[in-house]
Every structure is written in structure tokens, then in C-alpha cells.
Structure 1
Amino acid sequence: MALASLAAASLPTAAAAVRSRVSLLRRAMAASPSSSSCAGLAGSPARVGVVQMTSVGDLDANYATCSRLTKEAASAGVKFLCFPEVFSFIGSKDGESIKIAEPLDGPIMQRYRSLAKESSMWLSLGGFQEKGPDDSHQYNTHVLIDDSGEIRSSYRKIHLFDVDVPGNMVYKESRFTTAGDTVVAVDSPFGRLGLTVCYDLRFPELYQCLRFKHQAQVLLVPSAFTKVTGEAHWEILLCARAIETQCYVIAAAQAGKHNEKRESYGDSIIIDPWGTVIARLPDRLSTGFAVADIDLSKVEAVRTKMPISEHRKFDSDWKTS
């Protein structure tokens, strides 16, 4: 591991909403084709980076930060750099993100595609404001760009953050965001990547789907956790997802105060398939990135020694009384 330069609250979810999400994911699992491809399995360890930053309501300022970090990461030998949710824009007023939302072929994303190409680096851009199905909604979209500047895949956040955080503020993401309905995994030189965004982290069935239906080896969790929820649950949830799926987890985080109304927890980290944190920044507020070499042979070793895929039981097989 190397370092480069450089969200205790109970959040109840309505049972009906949980059942709806589980049903959605089961349909996705049934409909999505399985893939046994394990890109990069036989290759050497890959150097990846996880960014921590404090995005603001200025597209140019955020791009300047992302560009600087990408170039610094390239100099450090990083081949895959992961940015947090809402990396390109965090507004201070309701509706601001709707105004700047664009299709994935728009000029904002084109700048980042050019950045990836110029830097010969894959980029994970989590939480882009993609233009939605109508003028009052957007998608919260995780975009994966390869080193030639092409969009390899995109994932629209399934679980929307509609909660009243104790001691904090009320968030209702669904007011201006439309939920996605498709589970996404994609092959890359760094393994088979499972794409998620922030609040998805609290729903383990999504990660089970990525691991056991889509054969993910690396889970990407770009986030902007609130300070209250991050202090309570951020690291423990990430470690749980790594352990129960036997995957690497790369979790890029927004950090600090974005404006007078919004603050994020920070703590960008990379976790190995045994649940060990192998990279993080020295504090939760710095803008910068941490670097780790991920070795897919470790994924296979953990899965061989602890073969949970062979031992899994399904609720359809269980008896109830």
C-alpha cells in the first residue's frame, strides 16, 4: 500500500419499500445473464486509487480538482482511479442539480472522457447528474470510462436516500431523482467490477446479486455519506460487504463541508476480500487519494478456502412454520 498526495443513527425503512427493492433485485437477477469471465485474473496486481474530495456548486472548480488528482495519480502509477458520488457538482439549493443535468454524451461528461484518454487511465465516476425521464428529475448515475475515453458502462442508482437523519436534516432524493432498475457488472483489466452508489450500501441483496449472479470481484461504492451516518456505519458496512461477497471494495467518499447546508463524512478506503482495510487517506477531510495494489489471486484464494458459493441456501428452499 502507498499513499499519494493528497457519513450513530437508526434509519428505519418502510417494510413495503424494502420488499419492493428486494422484488426488483430478484427480477433483475432472473433476467440478467450470468457471466463467468474473470478479466485480469492471471495478470499481475493492478494499482488503483480512491479519491477523497469536497465538491462544490461549481462545475469548473470540481473538474479542476478531478483533473489535478487524475494527473497526480497517473504519475504514481495508478491505472484505475475512483471518484466519489456527485464528483462534478453539489448544489446549495434545491433544483440546482436538475438545471445542470445532462445526457451522458453531453459536454460535462465529455471533459471527463477526454481526461481519461489523456491520462491513459480508467475512471470510476460515481453519482453523475444524468438527465432524467422528465424536466423535474435526473438519474444518479455511476459512469465507468476506460483509458481510451470510452464509456464502458453506466449504472443508475437503485436505492434512493429518503430519510430524516436524527440531529441532521431531511433528505428526500426521490423528489428530484428517478431510481434505476438494472444491476450492472462489467469486465475490466482490474477484474469484474460491480457498480453501486452510496445508499445502495445498506442493501446487501444488491451486493449478493453482483457477487453470485454477476461474478463481481471488485465492488465500487462511490458515496457522499452524511457525517452522522458515516460516523455510525460507513466502515462497518463496507467491511461487511467485502467479507460477505469475498470481493475487494473501493469506496470513494465526499468529505467535509460543501456549503452551509451539507456536510459529508469522508474516509475514502479500499478493503480486501478478507475485510481488511488496505488503503485510506490519513484523515477524513483531505482532498487527495490513497493507492493500493489489488491482486485478483487473493479473491480466488479467499473463495477457495471459504467456499460460501457452494454452501449458500436460498429462501425458496427454506421451510417456515
Structure 2
Amino acid sequence: MAVALLPIQNTTLVVPRRPISIRILACESSTSMAKTNTVRVAAAQMTSINDLSANFNTCTRLVKEAVAAGAKLICFPENFSYMGAREGESLKIAENLDGPIMQGYCSLARESNIWLSLGGFQEKGPDDSHLYNTHVLIDETGNIRSTYRKIHLFDVDVPGGMVYKESSFSKAGKDIVAADSPIGRLGLTVCYDLRFPDLYQQLRFQHKAQVLLVPSAFTKVTGEAHWEILLRSRAIETQCYVIAAAQAGWHNDKRESYGDTLIIDPWGKVVSRLPDRSSTGLAVADIDFSLIDSVRTRMPISEHRKPFDFWKCASQ
């Protein structure tokens, strides 16, 4: 899809040159919401810091731009509201979902009449030493529709980089979460989940997802090596749209994120991206439900897929 780059308030907005006529098909779920003929989504790229107010102001500006572009939902990256600069900072600001930080974003959604995908919120955990890395979905009336607590925690010694141990301050979630929205049935994930295809397979085949959300703060080393490859793989394997909102650039003197916010279609084609991996801005694309239907009909993997108990282990 050809795109044009428009500078808006010192950010970059990627939009289609011409509106795309979209035929909306019924969701595979019997509980799916009614669709309109055109469904547009925005994915935000930003550089969060350890300042709640500054990050909220950036998010507010990006929401206004998404609304102006006609998006029904805007996806924000992991740690959108806060990126700690020192150990323990994230734990200090963690709060319940009915606290003032999240309620501010609920008000933003309501006042802007747009859905928000807020990936990687520091939700207060089960004890004072742990938080939940929570993906929060808010509707246009400002109500929290769904929450997903990150299952796979990033405990990794990055080659040539830093050592990360997310489990030292985060508690892993246990539940797979999908939810209906104006842009289809969403599968909610966060960052490091991307490396575990079984999660996405379950979102597609057990939970009937059409669009997979992957808010992230990938490191520069892992992003350069694997980011786009993994995202396109998840799209191809599940025949879903993949929306990957990314943190970008230097957050402090120790932490740099890869960037490269992407929207990928069910055939694995990148349909929108920010050309500058370090900039703040939006990637915008139209969700084409007829394309989802076409890809799944022509390549009917759901019919050919074997259940886990089909396989027999040959080893003794």
C-alpha cells in the first residue's frame, strides 16, 4: 500500500494516500461487535521517560492526531506512562487500575471518543516487591474493557548488551486474553510474549482473534536481529493483522529501545511503519476484514491444523 508522510506537530504520521474501501465480514465469534465499512487503527511510537506528566502529554498529543486521522483505536507501546531510569522506580509509581494514573487515560479516551490500547502499564502487584506488566484496553466511553497481565517475563542476558531480570520486580500473569473492539477481535500480548508462538496460536484458534496487539520496548540489539522477522511470522502463522507499537530511542543514560512501529497484514506484508525508528509519531492503516477472510479461505490452515493429541511421540 502506498503511503504518504505528513509532519504533524513535530511527529510523523503515516497514512494511506487514498481511503481504502473495506467490506466488513462478521467476526468468527458470535459475540463480535458490529463493524462499520471502514476501520482505521493507529500505532504510536514514543520515547517514555521517568515523568508521568510528560508521558501523558505526549500520549494526549498522539491521541489527538489519531482522532484527526480517523482512527477508532490507538495502540501505545509498553511502558507508555512511565519508563524508570533507576532500579525500583517503577515499583514506587505502580498503582491499581482504579488509581489516578489509569483514570487519567480513561478520561482521555472518553473526551477523545477513541479506544486506547495501553500496553505495559505498571499495575500494583500482589506484594510490595512486585508489579504486574498489564495491557489495558479502554473503550471510547472511558471504561476498561479488558486487561492482560504479561505472561512471559524478560529474564535475559542480551548478547553484547545489558542483563535484564523482569521477574525480580514483576509477577507473571496466567490468563490468555482476547476482546472485541471496533477494529475486530483483539488478541492482547506484551513485548517478550512475541517469542512464544503458542500464545498467538491459541489467540487465533481458541480465542478467534483477528488482530494481534504487540506493544513493546524491544532492546536495540534484539530489535535489529529479530523484531520485524518475529512480527511478520506471527502474522503469517495466525493469518491476523499484527499491530506493534514500539518505544524508541534513549529513555535515559542506560536504556535504549529499538523503535520501528509496524502494522502488518494477515499475509505478512508491512502496510504501515514509521520511517524513522527514533521519532515520535503514528503509523496508520485500515483493517480490511475481507482480506482476513480471503487469506484464511485460500490458505485454510484452521481446517488442516492437527490437535495436539494427534501427534505420537516416537521416542521411548
Same-fold call, TM cutoff 0.5: yes
Residue 151 of structure 2 corresponds to 158
Deviation digits for residues 148-175 of structure 1, max 9, x if unmatched? 1110000000000000001100000000
2:173 matches 1:176: no
Counterpart amino acid of residue 285 in structure 2: A
Deviation digits for residues 175-206 of structure 1, max 9, x if unmatched? 00000000000011110000000000000000
1:288-307 correspondence runs (5 A) = 288-307=281-300
Residue 145 of structure 1 corresponds to 138
Structure 1 runs (4+) greater than 4 angstroms displaced: 1-4
Query: Alignment partner for residue 60 of structure 1, among 53, 77, 97?
Result: 53
2:33 matches 1:39: yes
Do the aligned partners of 2:187 and 2:210 also contact (CA within 8 Å) in 1? Answer: yes
Give the total of aligned pairs.
293
Residue 15 of structure 1 corresponds to none
C-alpha separation in 2, matches of 1:264 and 1:134: 28
Higher helix share: 1
Residue 265 of structure 2 corresponds to 272
Does the residue aligned with 2:119 lie in a helix, a strand or coil? strand
Do the aligned partners of 1:44 and 1:295 also contact (CA within 8 Å) in 2? Answer: no
Cα pair distance change 1:232/1:144, threshold 3 Å: same
TM-superposed CA distance for 1:297, in Å, is: 1.6
Query: Alignment partner for residue 43 of structure 2, among 50, 57, 67?
Result: 50
Give me the TM-score of the superposition, normalised by structure 2: 0.90
TM-superposed CA distance for 1:45, in Å, is: 2.6
Do the aligned partners of 2:42 and 2:285 also contact (CA within 8 Å) in 1? Answer: yes
Residue 23 of structure 2 corresponds to none
Do the aligned partners of 1:39 and 1:190 also contact (CA within 8 Å) in 2? Answer: no
Query: Alignment partner for residue 193 of structure 2, among 192, 200, 204?
Result: 200
Does the residue aligned with 2:104 lie in a helix, a strand or coil? helix
Deviation digits for residues 208-253 of structure 1, max 9, x if unmatched? 0000000000000000000000000000000000000000000000
C-alpha separation in 1, matches of 2:296 and 2:4: 26
TM-superposed CA distance for 1:73, in Å, is: 1.4
Cα pair distance change 1:2/1:158, threshold 3 Å: farther
C-alpha separation in 1, matches of 2:33 and 2:167: 36
Do the aligned partners of 1:37 and 1:192 also contact (CA within 8 Å) in 2? Answer: no
Do the aligned partners of 2:77 and 2:215 also contact (CA within 8 Å) in 1? Answer: yes
Query: Alignment partner for residue 119 of structure 2, among 126, 132, 137?
Result: 126
TM-superposed CA distance for 1:35, in Å, is: 4.5
Do the aligned partners of 1:3 and 1:290 also contact (CA within 8 Å) in 2? Answer: no
Query: Alignment partner for residue 275 of structure 2, among 270, 273, 282?
Result: 282
Residue 255 of structure 2 corresponds to 262
Does the residue aligned with 1:132 lie in a helix, a strand or coil? strand
Do the aligned partners of 2:72 and 2:182 also contact (CA within 8 Å) in 1? Answer: no
Counterpart amino acid of residue 256 in structure 1: G
Counterpart amino acid of residue 127 in structure 2: D
Say which is worse superposed, 306-315 or 100-109, in terms of deviation: 306-315
C-alpha separation in 2, matches of 1:156 and 1:3: 35
Do the aligned partners of 2:267 and 2:295 also contact (CA within 8 Å) in 1? Answer: yes
Counterpart amino acid of residue 69 in structure 1: L
Q: RMSD over aligned Cα, in angstroms?
A: 1.3
C-alpha separation in 2, matches of 1:83 and 1:138: 19
Cα pair distance change 1:106/1:97, threshold 3 Å: same
Query: Alignment partner for residue 253 of structure 1, among 235, 246, 263?
Result: 246
C-alpha separation in 2, matches of 1:256 and 1:315: 41
Counterpart amino acid of residue 59 in structure 1: L
C-alpha separation in 2, matches of 1:136 and 1:122: 32
1:16-95 correspondence runs (5 A) = 35-40=29-34, 43-95=36-88
- Which segments of 5 or more consecutive residues in structure 1 lack a partner in the other structure? 7-33
1:232-251 correspondence runs (5 A) = 232-251=225-244
Do the aligned partners of 1:92 and 1:261 also contact (CA within 8 Å) in 2? Answer: yes
Residue 26 of structure 1 corresponds to none
Does the residue aligned with 2:223 lie in a helix, a strand or coil? helix
2:192 matches 1:190: no
Does the residue aligned with 1:178 lie in a helix, a strand or coil? coil
Do the aligned partners of 1:2 and 1:290 also contact (CA within 8 Å) in 2? Answer: no
Percent identity reads 72
